[in-house]
Amino acid sequence: MIRRADEMLQEIRERMRDGNGKVEILHIFQRHELGGKARLCAKIILQPGCSIGYHTHHDEEEIFYIIRGTGTVNDNGKEDIVRVGDAILTGGGAGHGIANTGNEPLEIMATILLY
C-alpha cells in the first residue's frame, strides 16, 4: 500500500495529555489499516513551547524518533535533551512526556506497539 502525503489524516489536539499548546498529528497509517499489533504510526509536530504531558504506557510501548528540532523529554522521571536522530522507547508501565524547547518545530516519528 502506498499512502500519499495528501491522503494522510491530520489531527490537531489541544493540551494533549495536559501538555501545553497544540499538537499536530499526521496519521501515516490508521490503526485499522495496520495488520500487526500497533495502534499508532504518525508524525507528531510540536511548535516551540508546545508539549505532550507526562503519561504512562501499560501493555504497550511507544517509540519516538526525533526527525527535526530539539526538545526536552521526561523519561520516566528523568529529564534529558533530545535532538535529531535520538530515539526514546517507553513501555512496560513506564512514562514519558516531551516538550519543544527549541526555536523551530519539533518533529517526531511515533509508533505505539501493543504487547
Which pLDDT tens digit goes with each residue over 68-93?
999 999 999 999 999 999 999 999 99
Q: What CATH number is attached to the domain comprising 54?
A: 2.60.120.10
As for how many domains the chain has, the answer is 1
DSSP for 41-109, please give it.
EEEEEE-TT-EEEEEE-SSEEEEEEEEES-EEEEETTEEEEE-TT-EEEEETT-EEEEEE-SSS-EEEE
pLDDT in tens, 19-63: 999 999 999 999 999 999 999 999 999 999 999 999 999 999 999
Determine the pLDDT at residue 66: 98
Determine the pLDDT at residue 81: 98
Give the range of the structural domain holding residue 45, as residue numbers without chain letter: 5-114
